[in-house]
Structure 1
Amino acid sequence: MAESPLLWWRRQGLRFRLTVAAAAGLALALALSASVLLSVLDQALIDTVDESTRQQAQAVRVAADAGTLTSPITTHDGTIVQVIDAQGRITHVTYGTDRLVPLLDARARAKVLGHGQATMLDGRPYAIPGFLRVIVLSADHGQTVVAARPIGEIQTSLATAGRVLLVGTPALIVLLAVASWLMIGRTLRPITALRKGAADITHTARSRRLPVPQSRDEVHSLATTLNGMLARLEEAEQRQRALVSDAAHELRSPLASIRLQLEVALGHPKGQHWQETAEGVLEDTMRLSRLAEDLLALARLDERGGVPARREPVDLDEVVRQTVERYGEARLTVCDPVVIRGDALDLSRVLTNLVDNAVRHTSSKVEVALTADGVLTVTDDGPGIPEQDRERVFNRFTRLDSGRSRDEGGAGLGLAIVRETVRAHGGTVALEDAAPGLRAVVRLPVSR
C-alpha cells in the first residue's frame, strides 16, 4: 500500500519541512508579486500611451476647429491621425497613413465617442504590425479626429520583463532555499546538542547537565528548563535513596532487638521471664509500627506531588479541640473558629506530631493556641532547640543528640511530615524560641 503524502510529509525532518515551507511560501509570494507587477506595469504603460495619444488628438482637434490643419499632419511621437468629415471622407492624415479607409468605421467611432475611453485595435488589416490604442474626439462641423498609436514596444517590454522574472524568480527561490537550509541548520544546532547531551545522560551519570546555548532565545529557555527538571529529578532520587537508607537503618535496630530477645528467650527458656520478653518485643513492634506509618504518610505526600488528599472545608478549631483532649499535659489557651480547605486527617496528624514532640520534651506544661487568622502554635517549656538546628530538624530522619538518647523518641520523621503536610495545604511552619522552651508556629490560609 502506497504511503500517503501527508504521512510522508510528517515523517520528514524539521529542517527539511521548514525549508520546503519557506521556499513554497516565497514561490507563492513571488508569483503573485510578478503577476501584480506585470499587470500594473502594463496598465501604467497603456495609460501613458493613451494620455500621449489623447494630447495629440486634442491638438489636431483644436487646429481643425480653427481651420489651420495642414496635410500631412505632423506628430512628434509617431501617432497616427485621421481627420474625417461629416460625410465620412478622410480629409487630413499623418504621413504614411491610409487616406481611403478609416481606422474605425462610423459605428465604431460613435461607440468610442460614447464611452470616451481608448479602444484596442488590431493594426494588421491596415498594414500596421501589432495592436493600436485608438482615441476618437469630436470636432466642429461634424468632423471627427481619430488618433492611434502602436503598442508593440509596450508588449515587447512586458515580454522582456516576464522573461527576466521567469528566470530570476526560480533562481531567487533556490537561493532562499539554500540560505534557509543553512540558517535553519544553524538554528537547530543547539537542539542537536541538547539531544546528544540527553543521550549521554545515563544512570551512571546523573549529575550531567544539558548544554545551554549562549543566545537568550527559546532554545536557551528550553535547555534551562530541562536542566532544572534534571536537577529536581536528581534531588528526588537522592532523597529517595536517603529515605531508603535511613529507613533500613531505623528498621535494623528494632528488628535486631526483637531477634536478640527471642534468641535469648529460646536459648534459656526455663530461666526466662516471658512477660518481660513479650513487653520488650511489643515495645519494639510498636516502634516499627510507628515508623511504618510515618514512612507511609511521607510516601503518600510524595505520591500526591505536594497536594492534600482532599480539599474540603475543615473546622480547624474542632480538630484542635479533639486532639488536645487526648493529652493530659496539654492545655488549650485560645481556639478561635477557623475554616480552611484541606484534609482533616492530615491536619490532625500535624497537630498530633507537634503535641507529641512538645509533651516529650516539656518540663511542666504544653500550651496550644489557634487564632482567627489561621495561626496555630504549640508551646512547651522544655530545653528548646538551638537556633542553628531549628531548620535542620525538619529534614527526614533528623534527630538531635538529646532526642537520640531518649528511648521513647521517634525516628525523626514527625517534623518532616508536619512541614510536607503544611506546605501541601499552602501554609508554613517554623520553630521559635519561647524563653524558656520552644514554640512551633503553623500558618495556614483561612477560607473566606
Structure 2
Amino acid sequence: MIGGHRAYRWIWRLSLRARLTLLATAVLAVGLGAGGSLLVITVSAALFTSVDSSVMQTSQDVVTLVKTKQLPNPVPTAGPAQLVQVVNARGGVLSASAAADQVVPMMPLGQLTAAANQGKLMVIAGEEPGREGPLRVFVSKVDAGGGVDYVIVAANIREVLDGGKVVRTAVGVGFPVLLAVLAMLSWLVVGATLRPVESLRRGAAEITGKGVTRRLPVPDAHDEVQRLAVTLNDMLSRLEVAQDRQRAFVADAAHELRSPLASLRTQLEIAARRSPELSTEDVLAEIDRLSRLVDDLLLLARMDAGMAAPARQDEVDLGEVARGVAKRYDGGQVPVVVAPAPGDLPLVVGDRDRLARVIGNLLDNAVRHARTRVGLSVVAEDGSVIVRIADDGPGIPAADRERVFERFTRLDDARARDDGGVGLGLAIVADLVRGHGGTVSLTDGTPGLLATVRIPFRTTEAEPPRKRTTRSRR
C-alpha cells in the first residue's frame, strides 16, 4: 500500500491544471474506448444480422419451392453474394443457383446431415474450389416425398468482415486523434476556469510583497471564485483596519512617551548642575535606554506603515559612513578596528541616516558581546558594496541566526542577555537593509560572529557606477 502511494506521488507534483486535464483525459479515454468498442460490436452485429436474415429468408423460400415441387434451375437468390444448392440424400446436386457449383455440393453429405440436425447458422471456409469464402451457411432438411433433400443457402461474408475491419481501423485511428483534441480542449477550458484563481494568487502575492493597500481582483462571472474574491477582500478590509489601529497605537504611544522622557532628562540635567553631589548617571542611562526603545518603536511603526523604502535617494559612500559610525566607539572598552577601505568604492543610492543606523546597530551588537575586539570592513564585490562586522564573542547557533532578525527575539545564551536590549536592533537592521534592496546575514566568525550586509549599487552599460576617490594620507 505504501509503495502504491509512492508510485502516485508524481501526480501531486503536477499543477492543478495538469491534474484536472489528466483526469478529464483519462475519463474521456475510458468513455471513448467503451464507445468505440460498442460501435465496432454493434456495426459487426448489424452486418451479420442482415446477412443471417437474408440467408434464413432465402432458405425458407427455397424450402417452400422444394415442397411444392416448383424448384427452378437455376434457383433464384436474394443477391449475387448468395449461393444455393439443393442436394439429395445421395449427395447429388438437384438444383443450384447461377453462381453455385452444379455438381459438387458445398458440404460433404455427413456434414450436411449434422448441420441440418443442428438447425443453426455456421461458417465454413471458402478456400475450396467452387466457392469463395468464408461463407455463412444454413442447411435445411426437406422431406420431398420421394426422399430427403437438403437445401444449402450460403452467403459470402467477406464484405461483412471487411466492413468490420474498416470500422475497427477508423476507430483505432480516430480514437487517439479525437482524444488528443479533447485533451487540448480540456487544457484550455481548465486554464480558462482557473485563470481567475491565478489572478487572485498574483494579487495576493503583490499585496504580500509590496505591502500596499489594494484589493484582490474580482472576476465578472457570478460563481464560487467570484464569491471567494469578495470574501477575501472583506477579510483584507478588516485586517487593514486592525493593522491601521495597531500602527496608530504604536506611533501614538511612541510619540507620547518621547515628551515626558525629554522632560525628565532635562530636569535631571538641571538638578545635576545645581547639585553636583547628586548622582544621576543611572537614571540618565535608563532614560537613554527608554529613549532608544521609543525611537525604535517609532521607526518600526513608520516602516510598517509603508515607509520601509529609503526616505531619501542620496548617493552614499558606505566606507565614509562606516568610518564615521566607528568613531563613536573610540575610547571604549572594546576597540573597533576599521580595515583600510579601497579608495574607489562605488556609491550606493539610499538614505545616509538609515544606512548609518544599520551599521550602528550591528556595531552595538558586536561591541556588546565581543571579548577583545570588533572588526569593520567595507569592500565592493559582485555588484554590491559589502559591509562586514566581526566580533570574537560567543557567537550565535546556526539554528537561531535567522530568528534573531525577528522583533523582540532574545536568545537564552549569553549573547542575547543584553545590557538593556529588547531584541529590536537586528529587526530594524533587517527592515532597513531590505528597504535598500540589500540583504543581511549572520555567519560563523571563527571565533565569534560575522555580520554581512550587501547593498547593491546601480550600474548601466552607458553610465558606469560613480566612484569617489579619497586622498592618501601621509
Q: Give the TM-score normalised by the residue count of structure 1.
A: 0.52
Q: Structure 2: how far apart are the matches of 1:43 and 1:115? A: 22
Question: Given residue 220 of structure 1, which amino acid in structure 2 is its aligned partner?
Answer: Q
1:83 maps to 86
1:125 counterpart SS class: coil
Provide the rounded CA distance (Å) in 1 between the counterparts of 2:115 and 2:50. Answer: 19
Contact 2:100–2:131 (Cα < 8 Å) also in 1: no
- In the other structure, the counterpart of 2:307 is none
Q: Which runs of 4+ in 1 moved over 6 A?
A: 246-269
The residue type paired with residue 54 of structure 1 is M
Q: SS of the counterpart of 2:238?
A: helix
Residue 250 of structure 1 deviates from its aligned partner by 9.1
Q: Is the 8 A contact 1:206 1:234 kept in 2?
A: no
Give the conservation status (yes or no) of the 8 Å contact 2:134–2:157.
yes
Structure 2 CA distance for aligned equivalents of residues 158 and 117 of structure 1:
23
- Contact 2:100–2:130 (CA under 8 A) maintained in structure 1: no
The residue aligned with 1:201 is: 207
Q: Which residue of 1 aligns with 2:38?
A: 36
Aligned partner of 2:25 among 6, 23, 26: 23
Q: Which residue of 2 aligns with 1:164?
A: 170
2:52 alignment counterpart: 50
1:27-426 map, 5 Å:
27-78=29-80, 79-141=82-144, 142-202=148-208, 205-242=211-248, 244=250
Letter of the 1:224 partner, please give it.
V
Count of residue pairs the alignment pairs up? 266
SS in 1 for 2:84: strand
Change (3 A) 1:204 1:159: closer
Distance of 1:204 and 1:38 partners within structure 2: 61
Counterpart CA distance in 2 for 1:109 and 1:221 is 78
Q: 1-side partners of 2:115 and 2:39: how far apart?
A: 29
Q: Shift in Å at residue 160 of structure 1?
A: 2.0
Please give the alpha-carbon distance, in whole angstroms, between the structure 1 residues aligned to 2:115 and 2:249.
99
Separation in 1, partners of 2:209, 2:124:
85
Structure 1 vs Structure 2: percent identity of aligned residues? 41
Distance 1:225 1:111 in 2: 81
1:123 partner letter: G
Deviation of 1:16 after TM superposition, in Å, equals: 2.5
Compared with structure 1, are the counterparts of its residues 190 and 81 closer, same or farther at alpha carbon in structure 2 (3 Å cutoff)?
same
For 1:24 and 1:126, the matched residues in 2 are separated by 51
What stretches of structure 2 of length at least 5 have no aligned partner?
Answer: 1-5, 276-474
Unaligned runs of 5+ in 1: 270-448
For normalisation by structure 2, the TM-score amounts to 0.49
> Residue 249 and residue 87 in structure 1: after superposition, are their counterparts in 2 closer, same or farther (change >3 A)?
same
**How big is each residue's C-alpha offset from its partner over 1:71-119, in whole Å with a ceiling of 9 and x where there is no partner?**
2212241211111223333211112422443323344334433443311
Distance in 2, Cα, partners of 1:183 & 1:96 = 60
Matches of 2:47 and 2:119 in 1, distance apart? 19
Distance in structure 2 (CA, Å) of the matches to 1:140 and 1:159: 41
Q: What SS does structure 1 have at the residue aligned with 2:71?
A: coil
| Cα 1:114/1:226, change in 2 over 3 Å | farther
Give the counterpart of 1:12 among 14, 21, 36: 14
Distance, in Å, in 1 between the alignment partners of 2:169 and 2:110 is 39
Which region of structure 1 is more displaced relative to structure 2, 75-84 or 8-17? 8-17
Letter in 1 for 2:20: L
Query: 1: distance between equivalents of 2:85 and 2:250?
Result: 110
The residue type equivalent to 2:70 in the other structure is T
Residue 183 of structure 1 and its aligned partner are, at CA, apart by 2.1
For the structure 1 residues 203 and 254, does the alpha-carbon distance in structure 2 shift closer, same or farther, using more than 3 Å as the test? farther
1:184 Cα deviation after fit: 2.0
